[in-house]
Chain A
Amino acid sequence: QVQLLESGPGLVKPSQTLSLTCTVSGGSINSVGYKWSWIRHLPGKGLEWIGYISYSGTTDYNPPLRSRFTISGDTSKNQFSLKLASVTAADTAVYYCARRVVGASRRFDYWGQGTLVTVSS
């Protein structure tokens, strides 16, 4: 059973950089056929895909968010991370990591529990 667990600060000050980590167990981020994703749920709005890193290390981002987000992976720790620069109150959200199955039947098949990030001074 694949499990994902987000970790990081729950409170970040405006203009600072947010850093979150997703630790994966029961599966390897090196496994062919998957992309390791970050998704956020903004208050009162739906889910928003941020981006993902593939098993080969390539990244892709939601175009409107591309300039502010960075996703990286650490295969030695079986973790992948998200950095968001210059946060504002509009970035307050629950952040999820999830595994994306690639191919014709693409889907997010496993999700982390989510971590609430509040941007406030």
Chain B
Amino acid sequence: QSVLTQPPSASGTPGQRVTISCSGSTSNIGSNTVNWYQQLPGTAPKLLISSDNQRPSGVPDRFSGSKSATSASLAISGLQSDDEGDYYCEAWDDRLMRPVFGGGTKVAVL
């Protein structure tokens, strides 16, 4: 059971916008920044969004992050077949005193 809650799957057709939610609590998302990681098939996780909404160098602006209270979201606009993979949210938890992850969301491009 992951501390952060994500839907197990999301899907869309090429060009569509897909949004993935990440729900937490006051001890994690509510008081710390959220990061998002992308794991494409057969590859290592890659930092996609940091500090709620910052894109590391090289990440396309099709990816965006937002946060409100104890929930965060990752949006993928202009969905492409290359975006198929797993997406994880992560935040520091002040009560557990460790980083915590969501269970991951598998994105499929139909």
Interface residues of A (CB under 8 A from B): 45-49, 60, 62-63, 96, 98, 100, 104-114
Contact = CB atoms under 8 A, between A and B. Distances in A.
Given A60-B98, A96-B44, 6 more contacts: A47-B88, A49-B99, A63-B97, A105-B54, A106-B99, A114-B44
Given A46-B102, A47-B101, A49-B98, A111 B46 contact: yes
Interface of B: 2, 33, 35, 37, 43-47, 50-51, 54, 56, 88, 90, 92, 96-104
A106 to B, nearest CB: 6
8 contacts: A47-B45, A47-B88, A105-B33, A108-B35, A108-B45, A109-B50, A109-B56, A110-B47
Contacts of A45: 2, 103
A109 B98 CA distance: 16
B37 A108 contact: yes
A104 B103 contact: no
Contacts of B2: 45-46
Determine which residue in A46, A63, A100, A111 has the highest number of CB atoms from chain B within 10 A of its CB, and name it. Answer: A46
A113 B33 contact: no
B101 A46 contact: yes
B88 A104 contact: no
Given A46-B2, A47-B88, A49-B101, A111 B44 contact: yes
Given A46-B103, A48-B101, A63-B98, A109 B88 contact: no
Nearest to A51: B98
Give chain B's interface secondary structure class.
strand
A93 to B, nearest CB: 14
A102 to B, nearest CB: 10
A113 B88 contact: no
A112 B47 CA distance: 12
B51 A105 contact: yes
Pick the 8 closest A-B CB pairs, nearest first.
A46-B103, A47-B101, A111-B44, A46-B2, A107-B50, A107-B35, A105-B51, A49-B99
Contacts of B99: 49, 100, 106, 108
